[in-house]
Amino acid sequence: MKIGFIGLGNMGAPMARNLMDSHEVVGYDPSAKPDGIPLAASATLVAKDADVVITMLPNGEILQSVSNEIHPVMPSGAIHLDCSTVDVDSARYVADKAATHGLKAVDAPVSGGIGGASNGTLTFMAGGAPDAFAAVQPLFNIMGQKAVHCGDAGSGQAAKICNNMILGVTMIATCEAFALADKLGLDRQAMFDVVSTSSGSSWSMNTYCPAPGIGPNSPADNDYIPGFAAELMLKDLNLSQMAAAAADADTPIGQAARDLYADFVENEDGRGKDFSSMLPRFVARHHEN
């Protein structure tokens, strides 16, 4: 396939490199110029001859703008595969605009972080028509280890938002529990050994433990240099609460997690650190009546 790749940041660049072993890839990013990826001078030049255009962009507003720019020049029948994490309405906007230009669209945000992008082990959660999903399945197989077709346009974003709301909530609960264990005099290793094999186990505890030196290697063991930055978790929790408001869903714990990450990122020292760096924040704080 001829693939155009727009958005070559920390996630997009390694995804594009993995595709280059099997496909013809040309990339574009207005600021990032990663080594080893053929680059075009504009998004439209990337898109005009592509069978598939992949976008990995920061937010829905930018995605809509790029879509309006590239859809008119893409060949009829081509596919816009968006791997950004954005609001559901933006994903549906892209799908509607694509259809007006005789194109197909798939919204397929990812889970797995920078490591998953580099190693080709991402999970994709996809929304869109079944035939469009089937057409890009070979690309998912290169960039990731699993792709789930979740339903119509926007369903991929809905799945990602729900997943990451759980992730944010469980990471906060895990950090709170370690901080409480410290104050109760419970050894962190003993805490991990119990919880990781008991009913409190979770991905946040077992795979991505926020306590340094406990469990598998994680950002906690690297001074909380981000695998998934706190400000990106805040972005996803903001999306979850936007979606909850639009759908009239009651998500008080998701809202509480959003508020804690907002305070951490905007008023404390969380920006630029991994989202698991909530642990030292809770350890340093005291119970407030």
Please tell me the distance from the alpha carbon of residue 2 to that of residue 47, in angstroms, as a whole number: 10
Catalytic residue among 97, 104, 160, 235: 160
User: From residue 191, how far is each of 179, 209, 223, 287 by CA, in Å?
Assistant: 11, 11, 21, 21
Query: CB-hemisphere CA count at 13 Å for 260?
Result: 22
Residues 6+ apart with CB under 8 A from 3: 16, 19, 23, 24, 25, 26, 50, 51, 52, 53, 54, 139
User: From residue 82, how far is each of 62, 63, 95, 101, 229 by CA, in Å?
Assistant: 12, 8, 10, 16, 21
Instruction: Give the 3-state secondary structure of residue 198.
Output: coil
Please name every residue paired with 110 in a beta bridge, in sequence order, or none if there are none: 124
Q: Tell me whether residue 2 is one of the annotated catalytic residues.
A: no
Query: Strand 52-55 vs strand 144-151: parallel, antiparallel, or unpaired?
Result: unpaired
Residue 2: Cβ-neighbour burial (10 angstroms; 0-12, 13-18, 19+):
middle
Please tell me the distance from the alpha carbon of residue 226 to that of residue 275, in angstroms, as a whole number: 7
Q: Provide the sign of the torsion angle of the four alpha carbons 235, 238, 240, 242, taken in this order.
A: negative
Residues marked active site are found at: 160
